Protein backbone atom coordinates (compact mmCIF):
# COMPACT_ATOMS: atom_id res chain seq x y z
CA UNK A 1 0.00 0.00 0.00
CA UNK A 2 1.11 3.63 -0.52
CA UNK A 3 2.95 5.26 2.40
CA UNK A 4 4.11 8.73 3.67
CA UNK A 5 0.94 10.80 3.79
CA UNK A 6 2.67 14.04 2.79
CA UNK A 7 3.55 12.51 -0.58
CA UNK A 8 -0.03 11.54 -1.30
CA UNK A 9 -1.48 14.18 -3.52
CA UNK A 10 -2.48 12.62 -6.82
CA UNK A 11 -5.84 11.36 -8.03
CA UNK A 12 -5.76 8.52 -10.55
CA UNK A 13 -8.69 7.14 -12.51
CA UNK A 14 -8.58 3.63 -14.03
CA UNK A 15 -11.34 2.89 -16.53
CA UNK A 16 -12.09 -0.82 -16.90
CA UNK A 17 -10.55 -1.23 -13.46
CA UNK A 18 -12.50 -4.40 -12.74
CA UNK A 19 -11.34 -6.25 -15.83
CA UNK A 20 -8.60 -8.85 -16.20
CA UNK A 21 -5.86 -6.24 -16.78
CA UNK A 22 -7.64 -3.43 -14.93
CA UNK A 23 -7.72 -5.25 -11.61
CA UNK A 24 -3.97 -5.86 -11.79
CA UNK A 25 -3.40 -2.18 -12.64
CA UNK A 26 -5.52 -1.13 -9.63
CA UNK A 27 -3.65 -3.41 -7.24
CA UNK A 28 -0.26 -2.41 -8.70
CA UNK A 29 -1.06 1.30 -8.23
CA UNK A 30 -1.94 0.74 -4.59
CA UNK A 31 1.31 -1.15 -4.05
CA UNK A 32 3.70 0.91 -6.19
CA UNK A 33 2.48 4.52 -6.45
CA UNK A 34 3.37 6.38 -3.21
CA UNK A 35 1.88 9.70 -4.37
CA UNK A 36 -1.62 8.27 -4.64
CA UNK A 37 -4.24 10.13 -2.59
CA UNK A 38 -7.35 8.83 -4.36
CA UNK A 39 -7.81 5.91 -6.77
CA UNK A 40 -11.01 5.99 -8.79
CA UNK A 41 -12.14 2.74 -10.41
CA UNK A 42 -14.62 3.24 -13.26
CA UNK A 43 -16.28 0.20 -14.76
CA UNK A 44 -19.55 -1.03 -16.20
CA UNK A 45 -19.38 -3.98 -13.83
CA UNK A 46 -17.87 -3.37 -10.37
CA UNK A 47 -16.29 -6.35 -8.63
CA UNK A 48 -17.03 -7.30 -5.00
CA UNK A 49 -13.28 -7.46 -4.33
CA UNK A 50 -13.16 -3.66 -4.42
CA UNK A 51 -14.49 -3.50 -0.87
CA UNK A 52 -11.28 -5.04 0.51
CA UNK A 53 -9.29 -2.15 -0.98
CA UNK A 54 -11.10 0.50 1.04
CA UNK A 55 -9.28 -0.25 4.29
CA UNK A 56 -5.94 1.28 3.30
CA UNK A 57 -4.54 4.85 3.44
CA UNK A 58 -5.54 5.58 -0.16
CA UNK A 59 -9.11 6.65 -0.80
CA UNK A 60 -10.57 4.06 -3.20
CA UNK A 61 -13.66 5.28 -5.08
CA UNK A 62 -15.65 2.74 -7.08
CA UNK A 63 -17.70 4.31 -9.86
CA UNK A 64 -20.17 2.23 -11.83
CA UNK A 65 -20.38 3.83 -15.25
CA UNK A 66 -20.33 3.46 -19.01
CA UNK A 67 -17.57 4.99 -21.15
CA UNK A 68 -20.08 5.44 -23.96
CA UNK A 69 -21.91 7.96 -21.76
CA UNK A 70 -19.91 11.22 -21.99
CA UNK A 71 -21.46 12.78 -18.90
CA UNK A 72 -20.62 9.75 -16.76
CA UNK A 73 -17.03 9.81 -17.97
CA UNK A 74 -16.70 13.57 -17.38
CA UNK A 75 -17.99 13.20 -13.82
CA UNK A 76 -15.48 10.44 -13.11
CA UNK A 77 -12.53 12.26 -14.72
CA UNK A 78 -13.16 15.67 -13.09
CA UNK A 79 -10.37 16.33 -10.59
CA UNK A 80 -8.16 13.43 -11.66
CA UNK A 81 -4.49 14.11 -12.41
CA UNK A 82 -3.96 10.89 -14.38
CA UNK A 83 -6.33 8.67 -16.36
CA UNK A 84 -5.39 5.09 -17.28
CA UNK A 85 -7.96 4.02 -19.88
CA UNK A 86 -8.14 0.21 -20.09
CA UNK A 87 -11.92 -0.14 -20.52
CA UNK A 88 -12.83 -1.84 -23.75
CA UNK A 89 -14.82 -4.54 -25.46
CA UNK A 90 -12.30 -7.29 -26.13
CA UNK A 91 -14.25 -9.38 -28.59
CA UNK A 92 -12.88 -11.44 -31.47
CA UNK A 93 -15.48 -14.15 -30.99
CA UNK A 94 -18.52 -12.42 -32.42
CA UNK A 95 -20.26 -11.89 -29.09
CA UNK A 96 -20.92 -8.17 -29.66
CA UNK A 97 -21.96 -6.36 -32.83
CA UNK A 98 -19.37 -4.31 -34.75
CA UNK A 99 -21.40 -1.22 -33.85
CA UNK A 100 -21.18 -1.97 -30.14
CA UNK A 101 -17.45 -2.66 -30.34
CA UNK A 102 -16.96 0.67 -32.08
CA UNK A 103 -19.23 2.47 -29.62
CA UNK A 104 -17.27 1.25 -26.62
CA UNK A 105 -13.74 1.21 -27.96
CA UNK A 106 -13.79 4.31 -30.18
CA UNK A 107 -16.58 6.54 -28.90
CA UNK A 108 -15.72 5.57 -25.35
CA UNK A 109 -12.12 6.66 -25.91
CA UNK A 110 -13.30 9.91 -27.51
CA UNK A 111 -15.37 10.54 -24.37
CA UNK A 112 -12.33 9.96 -22.16
CA UNK A 113 -10.19 12.32 -24.21
CA UNK A 114 -12.84 15.07 -24.22
CA UNK A 115 -13.39 14.62 -20.49
CA UNK A 116 -9.65 15.19 -19.89
CA UNK A 117 -9.73 18.34 -22.03
CA UNK A 118 -12.91 19.73 -20.47
CA UNK A 119 -11.99 19.04 -16.84
CA UNK A 120 -8.26 19.81 -16.97
CA UNK A 121 -6.75 16.32 -16.56
CA UNK A 122 -3.29 16.48 -18.07
CA UNK A 123 -2.09 12.88 -18.34
CA UNK A 124 -3.76 10.04 -20.26
CA UNK A 125 -2.42 6.50 -20.74
CA UNK A 126 -4.32 4.30 -23.20
CA UNK A 127 -4.26 0.51 -23.24
CA UNK A 128 -3.96 -0.21 -26.93
CA UNK A 129 -3.03 -3.61 -28.38
CA UNK A 130 -0.57 -5.45 -30.59
CA UNK A 131 -3.49 -5.84 -32.95
CA UNK A 132 -3.26 -2.18 -33.88
CA UNK A 133 -0.24 -3.39 -35.89
CA UNK A 134 -1.24 -6.95 -36.76
CA UNK A 135 -1.50 -9.66 -37.80
CA UNK A 136 -2.91 -7.94 -40.88
CA UNK A 137 -5.57 -9.36 -43.17
CA UNK A 138 -2.86 -10.65 -45.51
CA UNK A 139 -1.37 -12.88 -42.81
CA UNK A 140 2.04 -11.20 -42.99
CA UNK A 141 4.29 -12.37 -40.13
CA UNK A 142 5.71 -9.83 -37.67
CA UNK A 143 8.81 -11.60 -36.37
CA UNK A 144 10.35 -10.02 -33.26
CA UNK A 145 9.57 -6.54 -34.54
CA UNK A 146 9.59 -3.24 -32.66
CA UNK A 147 7.68 0.05 -32.62
CA UNK A 148 9.57 1.21 -35.74
CA UNK A 149 9.39 -1.99 -37.79
CA UNK A 150 7.65 -1.33 -41.11
CA UNK A 151 4.46 -3.41 -41.38
CA UNK A 152 1.30 -3.05 -43.49
CA UNK A 153 -1.29 -2.60 -40.74
CA UNK A 154 -4.48 -3.43 -42.65
CA UNK A 155 -7.54 -4.50 -40.64
CA UNK A 156 -11.09 -5.54 -41.44
CA UNK A 157 -12.20 -7.10 -38.15
CA UNK A 158 -14.16 -4.73 -35.85
CA UNK A 159 -11.93 -5.25 -32.80
CA UNK A 160 -8.50 -4.42 -34.23
CA UNK A 161 -10.05 -1.65 -36.34
CA UNK A 162 -11.56 -0.08 -33.23
CA UNK A 163 -8.32 -0.35 -31.26
CA UNK A 164 -6.36 1.23 -34.11
CA UNK A 165 -8.80 4.15 -34.37
CA UNK A 166 -8.87 4.68 -30.62
CA UNK A 167 -5.08 4.66 -30.40
CA UNK A 168 -4.89 7.16 -33.24
CA UNK A 169 -7.32 9.48 -31.42
CA UNK A 170 -5.29 9.28 -28.20
CA UNK A 171 -2.00 10.04 -29.92
CA UNK A 172 -3.51 12.88 -31.96
CA UNK A 173 -4.85 14.42 -28.74
CA UNK A 174 -1.34 14.80 -27.36
CA UNK A 175 -0.61 18.53 -26.98
CA UNK A 176 -4.25 19.70 -26.96
CA UNK A 177 -4.85 22.39 -24.36
CA UNK A 178 -6.88 21.20 -21.42
CA UNK A 179 -8.97 23.41 -19.14
CA UNK A 180 -6.51 25.72 -17.42
CA UNK A 181 -4.30 26.00 -20.50
CA UNK A 182 -1.82 23.19 -19.89
CA UNK A 183 -1.13 20.61 -22.64
CA UNK A 184 -2.68 17.13 -22.57
CA UNK A 185 0.07 14.49 -22.51
CA UNK A 186 -0.92 11.08 -23.89
CA UNK A 187 0.71 7.77 -24.75
CA UNK A 188 -0.43 4.27 -25.71
CA UNK A 189 0.76 0.86 -24.53
CA UNK A 190 0.46 -2.12 -26.87
CA UNK A 191 0.35 -5.42 -24.98
CA UNK A 192 0.73 -8.63 -26.95
CA UNK A 193 -1.37 -11.58 -25.71
CA UNK A 194 -1.69 -11.05 -21.98
CA UNK A 195 -1.69 -14.08 -19.69
CA UNK A 196 -1.84 -14.57 -15.93
CA UNK A 197 -4.22 -14.66 -13.00
CA UNK A 198 -7.76 -14.03 -14.19
CA UNK A 199 -7.25 -14.75 -17.91
CA UNK A 200 -10.68 -15.94 -19.06
CA UNK A 201 -9.50 -17.51 -22.33
CA UNK A 202 -6.92 -19.63 -20.51
CA UNK A 203 -9.67 -20.71 -18.15
CA UNK A 204 -11.91 -21.62 -21.11
CA UNK A 205 -9.16 -23.64 -22.81
CA UNK A 206 -8.46 -25.47 -19.56
CA UNK A 207 -12.07 -26.53 -19.12
CA UNK A 208 -12.23 -27.47 -22.82
CA UNK A 209 -9.26 -29.80 -22.18
CA UNK A 210 -10.95 -31.32 -19.14
CA UNK A 211 -14.04 -32.04 -21.24
CA UNK A 212 -11.80 -33.83 -23.75
CA UNK A 213 -10.37 -36.16 -21.14
CA UNK A 214 -7.37 -34.05 -20.23
CA UNK A 215 -6.23 -33.69 -23.83
CA UNK A 216 -5.87 -30.78 -26.23
CA UNK A 217 -5.26 -31.44 -29.91
CA UNK A 218 -2.60 -29.42 -31.69
CA UNK A 219 -3.99 -27.21 -34.44
CA UNK A 220 -1.19 -24.67 -34.79
CA UNK A 221 2.36 -25.44 -36.05
CA UNK A 222 4.90 -25.15 -33.22
CA UNK A 223 6.96 -22.88 -35.45
CA UNK A 224 4.36 -20.07 -35.36
CA UNK A 225 5.54 -17.67 -32.63
CA UNK A 226 2.90 -15.68 -30.77
CA UNK A 227 3.83 -12.83 -28.45
CA UNK A 228 2.69 -13.19 -24.85
CA UNK A 229 3.27 -10.96 -21.80
CA UNK A 230 2.48 -11.49 -18.12
CA UNK A 231 -0.38 -9.38 -16.76
CA UNK A 232 1.66 -8.25 -13.74
CA UNK A 233 4.34 -6.80 -16.00
CA UNK A 234 1.73 -5.10 -18.17
CA UNK A 235 0.21 -3.58 -15.04
CA UNK A 236 3.64 -2.46 -13.85
CA UNK A 237 4.35 -0.83 -17.21
CA UNK A 238 1.07 1.10 -16.91
CA UNK A 239 2.00 2.37 -13.45
CA UNK A 240 5.52 3.33 -14.50
CA UNK A 241 4.53 5.01 -17.75
CA UNK A 242 1.85 7.03 -15.94
CA UNK A 243 4.47 8.23 -13.45
CA UNK A 244 7.23 8.99 -15.95
CA UNK A 245 4.84 10.66 -18.42
CA UNK A 246 4.57 13.46 -15.85
CA UNK A 247 8.34 13.83 -15.69
CA UNK A 248 9.20 13.51 -19.40
CA UNK A 249 6.22 14.82 -21.39
CA UNK A 250 8.31 16.02 -24.31
CA UNK A 251 9.95 12.62 -24.82
CA UNK A 252 7.00 10.34 -24.03
CA UNK A 253 4.00 12.38 -25.13
CA UNK A 254 2.36 10.96 -28.26
CA UNK A 255 4.44 7.76 -28.14
CA UNK A 256 3.46 4.09 -28.39
CA UNK A 257 5.20 1.32 -26.45
CA UNK A 258 4.88 -2.44 -26.88
CA UNK A 259 4.43 -4.27 -23.58
CA UNK A 260 7.06 -6.96 -23.21
CA UNK A 261 8.89 -9.12 -20.70
CA UNK A 262 10.97 -12.31 -20.69
CA UNK A 263 8.09 -14.65 -21.57
CA UNK A 264 9.40 -17.14 -24.16
CA UNK A 265 8.59 -17.03 -27.84
CA UNK A 266 6.33 -20.03 -28.49
CA UNK A 267 3.24 -20.97 -30.44
CA UNK A 268 -0.02 -20.02 -28.75
CA UNK A 269 -0.76 -23.62 -27.84
CA UNK A 270 2.75 -24.53 -26.67
CA UNK A 271 2.87 -21.40 -24.53
CA UNK A 272 -0.45 -22.26 -22.91
CA UNK A 273 0.89 -25.73 -22.11
CA UNK A 274 3.45 -24.09 -19.79
CA UNK A 275 0.50 -23.67 -17.45
CA UNK A 276 -1.97 -26.32 -18.61
CA UNK A 277 0.62 -29.11 -18.45
CA UNK A 278 1.28 -28.69 -14.70
CA UNK A 279 -2.52 -28.73 -14.32
CA UNK A 280 -2.70 -32.20 -15.87
CA UNK A 281 -3.51 -31.50 -19.52
CA UNK A 282 -1.63 -32.97 -22.48
CA UNK A 283 -1.21 -31.50 -25.97
CA UNK A 284 -1.64 -34.32 -28.48
CA UNK A 285 0.47 -34.18 -31.66
CA UNK A 286 3.85 -32.78 -32.55
CA UNK A 287 2.27 -31.18 -35.62
CA UNK A 288 -1.31 -30.09 -36.38
CA UNK A 289 -3.57 -33.14 -36.38
CA UNK A 290 -5.83 -31.67 -39.04
CA UNK A 291 -4.86 -30.07 -42.36
CA UNK A 292 -5.19 -26.29 -42.44
CA UNK A 293 -7.95 -26.40 -45.08
CA UNK A 294 -10.06 -28.56 -42.74
CA UNK A 295 -9.43 -26.18 -39.83
CA UNK A 296 -10.52 -23.30 -42.07
CA UNK A 297 -13.67 -25.24 -42.97
CA UNK A 298 -14.44 -25.91 -39.30
CA UNK A 299 -13.79 -22.26 -38.43
CA UNK A 300 -16.11 -21.14 -41.24
CA UNK A 301 -18.71 -23.65 -40.07
CA UNK A 302 -18.52 -22.13 -36.59
CA UNK A 303 -19.05 -18.68 -38.06
CA UNK A 304 -22.08 -19.93 -40.05
CA UNK A 305 -23.55 -21.63 -36.99
CA UNK A 306 -23.05 -18.46 -34.96
CA UNK A 307 -24.99 -16.51 -37.58
CA UNK A 308 -27.79 -19.08 -37.87
CA UNK A 309 -28.19 -19.54 -34.12
CA UNK A 310 -27.95 -15.83 -33.19
CA UNK A 311 -31.75 -15.34 -32.99
CA UNK A 312 -31.91 -18.22 -30.49
CA UNK A 313 -28.63 -18.22 -28.56
CA UNK A 314 -25.07 -16.92 -28.56
CA UNK A 315 -22.74 -19.52 -30.03
CA UNK A 316 -19.19 -18.12 -29.72
CA UNK A 317 -16.49 -20.84 -29.84
CA UNK A 318 -12.78 -20.04 -29.64
CA UNK A 319 -12.25 -21.25 -33.22
CA UNK A 320 -13.44 -18.89 -35.95
CA UNK A 321 -11.81 -17.63 -39.15
CA UNK A 322 -10.27 -14.64 -37.39
CA UNK A 323 -8.88 -16.47 -34.38
CA UNK A 324 -7.52 -19.25 -36.60
CA UNK A 325 -5.73 -16.71 -38.79
CA UNK A 326 -4.36 -14.93 -35.73
CA UNK A 327 -3.10 -18.10 -34.09
CA UNK A 328 -1.47 -19.17 -37.36
CA UNK A 329 0.41 -15.96 -38.00
CA UNK A 330 3.70 -15.24 -36.30
CA UNK A 331 3.52 -12.03 -34.30
CA UNK A 332 6.25 -11.38 -31.73
CA UNK A 333 7.99 -8.27 -30.50
CA UNK A 334 11.57 -7.59 -29.50
CA UNK A 335 12.08 -4.05 -28.26
CA UNK A 336 13.55 -1.97 -25.47
CA UNK A 337 11.81 1.33 -26.21
CA UNK A 338 10.04 1.34 -22.84
CA UNK A 339 13.35 0.73 -21.11
CA UNK A 340 15.07 3.49 -23.08
CA UNK A 341 12.26 6.05 -22.62
CA UNK A 342 11.17 5.46 -19.04
CA UNK A 343 13.42 2.84 -17.50
CA UNK A 344 10.96 -0.05 -17.67
CA UNK A 345 12.20 -3.45 -16.57
CA UNK A 346 9.80 -6.35 -16.01
CA UNK A 347 8.81 -6.61 -12.34
CA UNK A 348 8.26 -10.36 -12.65
CA UNK A 349 10.70 -12.82 -14.19
CA UNK A 350 9.44 -15.51 -16.57
CA UNK A 351 9.77 -18.08 -13.78
CA UNK A 352 7.73 -15.94 -11.38
CA UNK A 353 5.12 -15.17 -14.05
CA UNK A 354 4.79 -18.88 -14.85
CA UNK A 355 4.59 -19.92 -11.20
CA UNK A 356 1.96 -17.31 -10.34
CA UNK A 357 -0.17 -18.32 -13.31
CA UNK A 358 0.09 -22.03 -12.52
CA UNK A 359 -0.85 -21.39 -8.87
CA UNK A 360 -3.89 -19.44 -10.01
CA UNK A 361 -4.98 -22.23 -12.33
CA UNK A 362 -4.46 -24.91 -9.68
CA UNK A 363 -6.47 -22.87 -7.17
CA UNK A 364 -9.18 -22.43 -9.81
CA UNK A 365 -9.13 -26.18 -10.46
CA UNK A 366 -9.42 -27.12 -6.79
CA UNK A 367 -12.31 -24.69 -6.29
CA UNK A 368 -14.05 -26.15 -9.35
CA UNK A 369 -13.88 -29.74 -8.01
Ligand X SMILES: NC(=O)c1ccc[n+]([C@@H]2O[C@H](COP(=O)([O-])OP(=O)(O)OC[C@H]3O[C@@H](n4cnc5c(N)ncnc54)[C@H](O)[C@@H]3O)[C@@H](O)[C@H]2O)c1
Write out the residues near ligand L6FXTLRJ by the rule CB under 6 A. 90, 92, 129-131, 193, 201, 219, 226, 268-269, 318-319, 323-324, 326-327
- The question of whether 292 is a catalytic residue gets the answer no
147 binding ligand X? (CB under 6 A): no
46 binding ligand X? (CB under 6 A): no
User: Residue 140 or residue 176: which is nearer to ligand L6FXTLRJ going by CB?
Assistant: 140
- Applying CB under 6 A, which of residues 14, 41, 80, 89 lies at the interface with ligand X? 89
User: Residue 210 or residue 319: which is nearer to ligand L6FXTLRJ going by CB?
Assistant: 319
CB atoms within 10 A of CB 354: 19
User: Residue 265 or residue 296: which is nearer to ligand X going by CB?
Assistant: 265
Residue in the shown chain whose Cβ atom is closest to ligand L6FXTLRJ? 193
Catalytic residue among 159, 257, 260, 268: 159
Q: Under 8 Å CB-to-CB from 120, ≥6 apart: which residues?
A: 178, 179, 180, 182
Q: Under 8 Å CB-to-CB from 335, ≥6 apart: which residues?
A: 145, 146, 147, 258, 260
- Applying CB under 6 A, which of residues 22, 94, 209, 249 lies at the interface with ligand X? 22
User: Residue 37 or residue 262: which is nearer to ligand L6FXTLRJ going by CB?
Assistant: 262
Q: Are 139 and 328 in contact (CB under 8 A)?
A: yes
346 binding ligand X? (CB under 6 A): no
**Shortest distance, CB of residue 320 to ligand X, whole angstroms?**
17
73 binding ligand X? (CB under 6 A): no
Q: Long-range CB contacts (< 8 A, 24+ apart) of 169-175?
A: 169/106, 169/109, 169/110, 169/113, 170/85, 170/109, 170/113, 170/124, 170/126, 170/128, 171/254, 171/255, 171/256, 173/113, 173/116, 173/117, 173/124, 174/253, 174/254, 175/253, 175/254
- Neighbouring C-alpha atoms within 13 Å toward the C-beta of 161: 12
**Residues in the site for ligand X, rule: CB under 6 A?**
16, 18-22, 43-45, 66-68, 86-90, 104, 108, 127, 129, 163, 191, 193-194
Amino acid sequence: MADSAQAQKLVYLVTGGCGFLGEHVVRMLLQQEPRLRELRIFDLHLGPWLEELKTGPVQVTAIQGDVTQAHEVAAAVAGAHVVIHTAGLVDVFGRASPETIHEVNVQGTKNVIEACVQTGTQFLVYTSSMEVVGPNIKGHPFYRGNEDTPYEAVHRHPYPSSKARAEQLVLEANGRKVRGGLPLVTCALRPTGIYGEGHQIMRDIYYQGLRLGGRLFRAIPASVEHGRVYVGNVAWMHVLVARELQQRPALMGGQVYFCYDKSPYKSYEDFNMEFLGPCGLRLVGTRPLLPYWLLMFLAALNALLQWLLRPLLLYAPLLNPYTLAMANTTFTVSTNKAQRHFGYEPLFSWEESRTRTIRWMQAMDSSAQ
